[in-house]
Structure 1
Amino acid sequence: MESSAWRVDAFKSGHAYPLQPQAEVRGLPVSQLPFSAPSVVRLDPMQPVTQDRLVNLTFIAIAALLVTISALVTPSPTGMGTHERLGLPPCMFLKWTHIPCFSCGMTTSWAHMAHGHPWQAFKAQPMGVALFVATVAAGLASLVYLFKGGTLERRFNRYGKRANIGFWAGLLGAWVYKIVETCLK
């Protein structure tokens, strides 16, 4: 049987919670269960440090993969269509409406950024530059947090609403830019 000191420590650390006498398990009150319910139920089988490392490693891997793919593909000189070189189909929105979609030029922008051409990247898709920089920054920050402790996710949660608004405003602005730029050609 586990000591009550362990249960108190586990409760304070957030890895367990006490089972309330009025709690129900599958619709039955705890007092009517055919077995004796433990007074503490573990919620988190994995240590927080291990979880943080897995989150950080995931962010690092995703960022590295995206930047590597961007570096391996040659950007399209037209400012759009680089994704087709990766085996993806052409933009159906552009094909049907003759207006670029909100992400037209994004892959081209990333490819230009990975090749060290920020001005061409901006001309292809301004939001692509911002997302590329954010991805590289997230990967580097996750690398720091991998050794320091914590996660970028927790830090970002403070700014989630503002960042979300900024993302959508930037995407809308970049889309308007892309539409105007395409119409002026």
Structure 2
Amino acid sequence: MRVFSVPERIGGFGVLVAGAAALWPAFTTRTGVGVPCMLRTLTGVPCPGCGLTTAAVALVRGDLGAAFQANPVIFGLAALAVAVGPLVALRATGVLAPPKPFSPAGRRRTGWLAGLLAAASWAFQLHRLGVSWA
């Protein structure tokens, strides 16, 4: 069985998000069903991923400004989604070697980077939505 690297997995998730973002507006218009952020619904505090659905829909529609305003993280996810197709194809045809496992230090760095990205996204959402702790 082929092992997928972390960027390939994130990019694959991005491809699924793009597909869902293309279909989501029609679904919500037809059914009136939406998926609220549970943290924000229960506490009034947004999560680091708040706005990603809105950002994905805006990006699929070509509205870069609205996508950025909703959640700029969508651009990184979109870049990985665009890159993952050719990467998986090149690895499947043997042009590129299979991914190597991350070293423990690489895992730590990746964990820290993901944590910093989540913290920055959360700070952005708190500012965007005017949430204060006072």
Instruction: Indicate the structure with greater strand content.
Output: 1
2:120 equivalent to 1:176: no
Instruction: Indicate the structure with greater helix content.
Output: 2
Match of 1:142 in 2: 88
Q: How many residues align?
A: 122
**Larger Rg, first or second structure (1 or 2):** 1
Give the CA deviation at 1:161. 3.4
| Distance of 1:64 and 1:131 partners within structure 2 | 9
State the identity %. 20
> Which consecutive unaligned segments of at least 5 residues does structure 1 have?
1-50, 76-81
> Which consecutive unaligned segments of at least 5 residues does structure 2 have?
none
Match of 2:79 in 1: 133
| Distance of 2:111 and 2:81 partners within structure 1 | 15
Following TM superposition, the consecutive aligned residue runs of length 4 or more in structure 1 with deviations greater than 4 angstroms are: 58-63, 85-88
1:25-104 matches, within 5 Å, as 51-52=1-2, 55=4, 62-74=13-25, 89-104=35-50
Q: Deviations over 1:112-167 (max 9, x none)?
A: 2222233221110122222222233223311222222433x42x736543333222
Amino acid at match of 2:82: V
| Distance of 2:24 and 2:69 partners within structure 1 | 18
TM-score after normalising by structure 1: 0.52
| Distance of 1:138 and 1:94 partners within structure 2 | 32
Q: Deviations over 1:54-103 (max 9, x none)?
A: 749x958655433222222239xxxxxx8xx8956422221222221121
1:157 to 102, 110, 113: 102
If asked which structure has higher relative contact order (CA below 8 Å, sep 6+), I would say 2
Match of 1:166 in 2: 113
Contact 1:63/1:139 (8 A) holds in 2: no
